[in-house]
Amino acid sequence: PKCALNIIGQVFGNGVVSIPCCQELVKEGNECHDTLIKYIVDRPTLIANETKYLQKRDELWAHCVSVSKAI
């Protein structure tokens, strides 16, 4: 739950995801990550900024994959 909140915080705010949370995210898989963020973005209050949030989602995924490979 803590990592999920950190991930959401980074995509939708100014949060930062730790290395252990990045590893957990990669372990869960890209499909899970994409589905969760897309589900949240579809809310009426967020949909106007969908492109920005989906870009941040993809950037976070790429970052976490690179961090996880480096360890």
pLDDT tens digits for range 5-49: 999 999 999 999 999 999 999 999 999 999 999 999 999 999 999
Predicted local confidence at residue 1, as pLDDT? 83
What are 37-56's pLDDT values in tens digits? 999 999 999 999 999 999 99
The answer to pTM > 0.75 is yes
Predicted local confidence at residue 31, as pLDDT? 97
Handedness of CA 6, 68, 65, 30 (dihedral sign): negative
Predicted local confidence at residue 20, as pLDDT? 96
- Burial of 51 from C-beta contacts in 10 A (0-12 / 13-18 / 19+): exposed
